[in-house]
Amino acid sequence: MKNPYRKTKIIFTIGPATMEEPMLEKLIHAGVDICRINMAHADHEWSRMIVRRVRSVCERVGRHIAIMMDVKGPEIRTGDVDKTFDLKKGDKILFTQKQGTASILEDGTLRVDTNYPDFHNDVEVGSTVLVDSGLVRLKVLEIKDGNILCEVVIPGPLGNRRHINLPGVFVNLPALTEKDKGDVNVGIEEGIDFYALSFVRKPEDLDIFHKYLEERGSKAHIIAKIEDQEAIRNLEDIIKASDGLMVARGDLGIECPFEDLPLIQSRAVDLCIQHAKPVIVATHMLESMTESPIPTRAEVSDVANAIRDQSDCVMLSGETTVGKYPLECIEVINRIADKMENRENEIGPVLRKDIVLNAPKSKMLRSAAYLASEMENSGIVVFTRKGLLAEKLASLRPHVPIYAFTDSEVLFRQLLILRGIEPFLMQFNDTDPEVTVLDAFSRLKERNWAHIGDPMVVISNVIAGARIIDTIQLRKIE
């Protein structure tokens, strides 16, 4: 059957092109699910204003979306540069510490600070240094007195505070920097739903972040961004330790051979589905639409492949922060998703076959999904307070719609990241579960997503004496 809603979720990054209320209204109406705030380019005052504005617009529109704060993590950047330097092949650059704004030395060498005190300890003569997403490639010539002398191999412009990559090098930086902690504290105060942590290298990085949130009473979920070779080596352990994964293809494509990217992406998506964790495919999804009202055919195929792989989310960055056509980007993804998801329903397997289910409850969910798929105009209704049932159902990737009802406002927004899950916030009647079921059916009829007589597989708990029993009910909409 055709789903009444889009399964694949859309994350947009907010910026000058999308921060005003009229545009936010249009994006929310168009179906965005999560708003991302990139703390690499945002201060605390602006972030607070944006969170409150998004929620205010959601209230007015009557459709709620989640908010994700993307914290910078352990990244290396160049220091202050008062003008852009046009580097040429063979030019020399000296990386220093705390010597101020970039300057030209007497021998013509460009001296630039970095924010990483141990830079000189992590590289060696002959190492490759990539600047500004790999646009500029340098080779280390000499390391002396804590300074690093490099030669330009691939030329390009060097502007202010550009990102530095060290392919294959373990960077001795903390998982959560002092800047990150300050940003996260603002997010906690504003009730952020998700944090995306940049440059996660090992599961312990996530343990540190989880502990930090727990100590401050936050229930936010942590999305691990994989962006270097060490993360790929530790991929499965990182997935297990996280609440979800982002395949950040920008830095990943710099740190790893670009021909490996499609394989890394597919492996990451499959592993996340197998572990019932949401997965986001990000970076350059519709990059040309920053300036053009229509995508390239290659971009259409890229988005389609992410949806075919059954990613939970696709994410837009520059396209919606500074792009000229943010609303058109959402409409393009809607069109691609509609075509790809309907095709999947027509020819794909009813459920994924690679999901290992050991627990009896998980096997029960699989049976419920099979049962729903056998009937016309059916769906699955699940009641959840922790989200585990919805996560497992989403990982099975059934063709039928999954309606997840919860009485937790925090969980409601966190369910928005899961592929194929349409969440509802609703009070539960703990003394009479039948009232809760009928209220859920009423919500579906109000949206015209279900009609009287349609079959629904209802997954819930019933109280039997002193015990709580998991149940599957086959019901008809009344």
Stretch 34-60: mean pLDDT, rounded? 96
Domain residues for the domain of 82 are 76-165
The pLDDT of residue 236 is above 80: yes
Each residue's pLDDT tens digit, 386-419:
999 999 999 999 999 999 999 999 999 999 999 9
58 with 207, same domain: the answer is: yes
Q: State mean pLDDT over 53-64.
A: 97
What predicted TM-score, i.e. pTM, was given to this entire model? 0.93
Which of residues 345, 371, 393 is at a domain's end? Answer: 345
Question: Is 3 domain-assigned?
Answer: no
Q: What is the pLDDT of residue 49?
A: 98
Residues 226 and 263 placed together within one structural domain of the fold:
yes
HSE, side-chain direction, 13 A CA sphere, residue 380: 35
Q: Has residue 256 got a pLDDT over 90?
A: no
Judged against a pLDDT cut of 70, whether residue 33 lies above it is answered with yes
pLDDT at 465: 65
Strands 221-226, 110-113: pairing kind: unpaired
What's the pLDDT score for residue 1? 59
Domain-located, residue 400: yes
pLDDT over 70, % of the chain: 99
Task: Supply the CATH number for residue 449's domain.
Answer: 3.40.1380.20
Among 175, 213, 173, smallest CA distance to 77 is for: 173
- Residues annotated as catalytic (active site), given as ranges: 36, 77, 225, 283
Answer yes or no: do 274 and 376 share one domain. no
In a domain? residue 421:
yes
Is the same domain home to 62 and 22? yes
Q: Quote the tokens at residue 48.
A: 């607070």
> Do residues 40 and 343 touch, judged by C-beta distance below 8 A?
no
155 in the same domain as 49: no
Count of domains forming the chain = 3
> Are 155 and 179 contained in the same domain?
no
Q: Which residues pair with 11 in a beta bridge?
A: 34, 315
Q: 307-358 pLDDT, tens per residue? A: 999 999 999 999 999 999 999 999 999 999 999 999 988 877 889 988 888 8
> pLDDT-derived band of residue 31, with 50, 70 and 90 as boundaries?
very high
Residue range 133-141: average pLDDT? 92
**Per-residue pLDDT tens digits for 360-390:** 889 999 999 999 999 999 999 999 999 999 9
- Final residue of a structural domain among 165, 183, 212: 165
Q: What is the pLDDT of residue 414?
A: 98
| Residue that terminates a domain, selected from 143, 165, 187 | 165
**Is 139 part of a structural domain of the chain?**
yes
d(CA 266, CA 310): 10
CATH number at residue 320: 3.20.20.60
Residue 73 predicted with pLDDT over 80: yes
Q: 63 and 80 share a domain?
A: no
- 77-81, 82-86, 184-188, 345-349: least confidently modelled range: 345-349
Q: Please give the radius of gyration of the chain, using alpha carbons only, rounded to the nearest integer.
A: 24
* Model confidence band, residue 24 (pLDDT cutoffs 50, 70, 90): very high
Average pLDDT, the chain: 94
427 found inside a domain: yes
337 and 401 co-located in one domain: no
Q: Are residues 311 and 402 in the same domain?
A: no
352 part of a folded domain: no
96 with 194, same domain: the answer is no
Confirm whether 2 is domain-assigned. no
State the CATH number of the domain containing residue 80: 2.40.33.10
Same domain, yes or no: 151 and 57: no
> Do 159 and 294 sit in the same domain of this protein?
no
Assigned domain for 461 exists: yes
What's the pLDDT tens digit per position in 267-278? 999 999 999 999
pLDDT of residue 384: 93
pLDDT at 464: 64
